[in-house]
């Protein structure tokens, strides 16, 4: 009797408006209630408070129509214990869920969960988490920046570090902000790489300035003409430097200083001609290309001095040989005269 009265009331509430098409329309479908109060559309045995078999649509295409689907939750308990899920469940397979829960205040959280192929009958795992402050985590439900990825012990964070309003990426094979962390930073119109567990400027190892200059071991430079500026020692298997060479030394019009003039210059200036003094090198550094060309110039000048010296030695040797022959002939002449005098 009660069930008959309920169906009559249900018909009055929902089926009467079919005439003007305003509220509920079930063409050839099934609308039923169960003994436990569940309502089903498309099924006569609903297993939940409201169950629909088939496609479901919410709202219409009218410009001024607002549609809202609300899933309500409690004020207490808080955090994960207040969770509310939208679940996608598959027969003889896993399920995926969209989950939300409240925090300790007005903050709310949103998660996306899926099941892996090896998860047979278990609950899905959180894959993506969004905090109330907008931080997004993948592989973590405690994102420490705007975008935080965790895989095992490895962390990747994108966002603002250390409260310094610095855009950057943190890479770590351990905890965040640990000695294993490396940071890629956008810092005061420059790109920087930092290590050592913090983004403090003392930990910046490489800096690319907005003019393209690259600094290693330092964060600023006074002479911006250097495209690569390194504070510290450099070691390499090979370094190739573009240079002009010094073959002009062998041109016919090249004026080679006499060694006496070179000696005078050295005594007065305490360095070679055409080579910067030590004090200037200590202040301004040395251009490898220019220095190589200067050293080559001096080597080529030494070669010319050696050639000139060899020619002078050869001339001297030939002259001494000629004098030796003359001495021998003179000696022979004297001996001949002496012998002739003795004979007479």
pLDDT tens-digit map of 88-118:
988 888 899 999 999 999 999 999 999 998 8
Q: Which helix (H) or strand (E) holds 333?
A: helix 288-343
User: Angle at CA 38, nearest 5°, toward 35 and 29?
Assistant: 100
**pLDDT class of 163 with cuts at 50, 70, 90:** low
CA distance 96 to 116: 10
Pairing of strands 167-172, 31-33: unpaired
**Closest C-alpha among 76, 89, 8 to residue 47:** 89
For 297, residues 6+ apart whose C-beta sits below 8 A from its C-beta are 246, 249, 274
pLDDT at residue 2, as a whole number: 43
CA distance 145 to 134: 9
Averaged pLDDT, 252-263? 94
Q: Taking 60 as the threshold, does the pLDDT of residue 61 lie above it?
A: yes
Other CB atoms within 10 Å distance of the CB of residue 207: 24
Sign of CA dihedral 48, 49, 55, 58: negative
Q: Which helix (H) or strand (E) holds 323?
A: helix 288-343
Answering whether pTM is above 0.95, one says no
- In tens, the pLDDT along 169-215 reads 999 888 887 888 999 998 888 999 999 888 889 999 999 999 999 99
> CA 302 → CA 211, 250, 259, 307, distances in Å?
43, 12, 10, 9
Find tokens 């001339």 and name the residue.
315
Record the tokens describing residue 199, joined without a space: 């983004």
- In tens, the pLDDT along 22-47 reads 455 555 556 666 677 888 888 888 88
- Which strands form 31-33's sheet, in the order they lie side by side? 31-33, 39-41, 50-52
């Amino acid at each position: 009797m009660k069930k008959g009265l309920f169906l009559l009331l249900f018909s009055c509430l929902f089926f009467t408006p079919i005439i003007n098409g305003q509220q509920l329309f079930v063409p050839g479908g099934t609308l039923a209630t169960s003994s436990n109060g569940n309502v089903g559309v498309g099924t006569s045995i609903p297993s939940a408070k409201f169950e629909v078999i088939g496609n479901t649509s919410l709202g219409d295409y009218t410009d001024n129509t607002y549609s809202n689907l609300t899933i309500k939750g409690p004020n207490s308990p808080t955090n994960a214990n207040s969770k509310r899920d939208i679940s996608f469940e598959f027969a003889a397979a896993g399920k995926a869920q969209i989950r939300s829960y409240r925090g300790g205040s007005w903050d709310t959280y949103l998660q996306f969960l899926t099941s892996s192929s090896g998860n047979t009958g278990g609950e899905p795992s959180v894959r993506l988490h969004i905090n109330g402050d907008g931080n997004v985590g993948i592989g973590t439900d405690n994102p420490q920046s705007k975008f935080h990825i965790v895989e095992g012990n490895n962390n990747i964070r994108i966002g603002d570090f250390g409260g310094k309003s610095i855009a950057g990426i943190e890479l770590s094979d351990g905890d965040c902000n640990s000695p294993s962390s490396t940071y890629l930073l956008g810092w005061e119109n420059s790109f920087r790489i930092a290590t050592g567990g913090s983004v403090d400027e003392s930990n910046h190892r490489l800096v690319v300035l907005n003019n393209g200059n690259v600094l290693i071991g330092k964060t600023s430079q006074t002479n911006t003409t250097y495209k690569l500026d390194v504070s510290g020692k450099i070691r390499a298997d090979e370094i190739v430097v573009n240079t002009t060479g010094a073959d002009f030394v062998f041109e016919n019009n090249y004026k080679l200083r006499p060694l006496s003039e070179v000696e005078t210059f050295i005594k007065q200036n305490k360095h070679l001609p055409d080579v910067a003094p030590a004090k200037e090198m200590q202040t301004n550094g040395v251009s490898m290309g220019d220095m190589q060309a200067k050293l080559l110039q001096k080597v080529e000048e030494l070669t010319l001095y050696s050639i000139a010296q060899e020619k002078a030695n050869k001339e001297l040797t030939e002259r001494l040989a000629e004098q030796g022959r003359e001495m021998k002939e003179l000696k022979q002449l004297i001996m001949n005269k002496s012998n002739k005098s003795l004979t007479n």
